[in-house]
Amino acid sequence: MTAHPVDEKLPALKMATTGLQHVAAMYAGVVAPPLIVGAAVGLSGTELTFLTGACLFTAGLATFLQTIGIWKIGARLPFVNGVTFAGVAPMTAIVASTKDKSDALPVIFGAVIVAGLLGFLAAPFFSKAVRFFPPVVTGTVITLIGVSLLPVAFGWAQGPDPSAPDYGSRTYLGLAAATLVIVLVLRRFTRGFVKQIAVLLGLLLGTLLAIPFGATDFSPVADADVIGFPSPFHFGAPQFQVAAIVSMCVVMVVSMTESTADMLALGEIVERPADERTIAAGLRADTLGSAISPLFNGFMCSAFAQNIGLVAMTRIRSRYVVATGGGFLVLMGLCPMAASLIAVVPRPVLGGAGVVLFGSVAASGIQTLVKAGLDRDDNILIVAVSLAVGIIPITAPDFYHAFPQTVRIVLDSGISTGCVAAVALNLVFHHLGRARAQAGGTTGAVPPSPVSRSRNCPRTPST
């Protein structure tokens, strides 16, 4: 019996290069939270490098849990895990409220441990919501994931420092545009292996192109140590404060909501739909990875939506490719010099590639919506309102400024609010008060539970 593409093991060279491509796509997202939080704490350059390496190391461990899996832990999909950006605002708030800044990181670590363990226990209950995610909901959420990530790419394209005079300069935007063109040309005029690693080649060529313009900084390589293990509790034993724990539990709920949406999106893209069991296992990996992460001085872990775009674009669906990327992350955590090589890639170059990656996610969502029966008015309303709600934090970042900070953690996540709106509207239009089952299967009604299918007979890809 032919293995499903998700379980396919590719040749070693192809596995390594495509795995490295995943690392390149998510590297900036992993290192940004520790850099922001570390700067707020007032860490020295050496300590900041250590914290960043620790987050890379724990992201690799969490990715192993998600892709390879053990027992009932891990979605076993090509699913990259790393530090969630949703936790940055509450973590910096914890830092600000801590009198002795040396206690700030231990307080954060203690809160993340508790939130991770509670999330692990809640995973099987949280996963039961999968039956409320028909195509009209999943398509909307997938589209929102892509749209929500595009501003990140646009920010990268403008340069590394928003406060710098040259932020958004023609040089930076030109490098981003050149990288985008390189990726498009490679995707259009090459075949096979070269076409599949077009993003990685685009990042490499874009970096070389940036050298004459002085946009490539090699100092991270010169200053980095060759070996550096993230020793447990380097910043002190975890401390447990109620306010911090509540704050991080809210972030955990947001993270689990986004991960559920990401798993549903990825399941559609790789043609192995995520059922209730898969989502429960994936959430266990997310939450257990988060609980373990502080032991090695890392933060809360969650799914990285940008890598879903890479899977959609390259059509390389093997979870072992992503597991290889997890291996690179672990090595980078153990070898700061190796981690610094990825850091050499200029932000504008990442931005140019990000347009392709994140746009691919949005396009996948539109493909799913095509199957949702948009010829019906109620489905159009679900999509229209949910997209509008989800886009609010992007188009009007201060829209919820009058709400408490803990509530804004949820409201400022367009993916979370859009997902909640889509699920709620689907309940109103397709569940409350009347049955909506119709012949033809093009409604937004809840399909038969994927769990009812034989677990030994995965869906085969279309040809």
Which residue matches tokens 């039961």? Answer: 128
Q: What is the pLDDT of residue 69?
A: 85
pTM given for the model: 0.66
pLDDT tens per residue across span 128-172 = 876 777 888 878 877 887 787 788 789 889 988 888 898 999 999
Mean pLDDT of all residues in 26-37: 74
On the question of pLDDT at 454 being above 70, the answer is: no
Q: What is the pLDDT of residue 450?
A: 38
Mean pLDDT of all residues in 97-101: 79
Helix, strand, or coil here: 120? helix
| Burial group, residue 252, by CB count within 10 angstroms (0-12, 13-18, 19+) | buried
Angle, helices 347-370 vs 198-210, to 10°: value is 150
Average pLDDT, the chain: 80
Q: What is the pLDDT of residue 381?
A: 93
Contacts of 48 (CB under 8 A, 6+ apart): 34, 35, 38, 39
* Most confident segment among 219-223, 388-392, 435-439, 459-463: 388-392
Mean pLDDT of all residues in 179-206: 84
pLDDT tens per residue across span 100-127 = 888 889 999 999 999 999 999 999 888 8
Place 271 in a pLDDT band, splitting at 50, 70 and 90: confident
Mean pLDDT of all residues in 194-223: 81
Q: How far apart are CA 190 and CA 188, in angstroms?
A: 6
Contact 129, 423 (CB under 8 A): yes
Please name every residue paired with 48 in a beta bridge, in sequence order, or none if there are none: none
Q: Which one has a higher pLDDT value, 283 or 96?
A: 283
Contact 78, 211 (CB under 8 A): no
pLDDT tens per residue across span 250-260 = 778 777 877 88
Which residue matches tokens 């932020």? Answer: 167
Q: Which one has a higher pLDDT value, 32 or 16?
A: 16
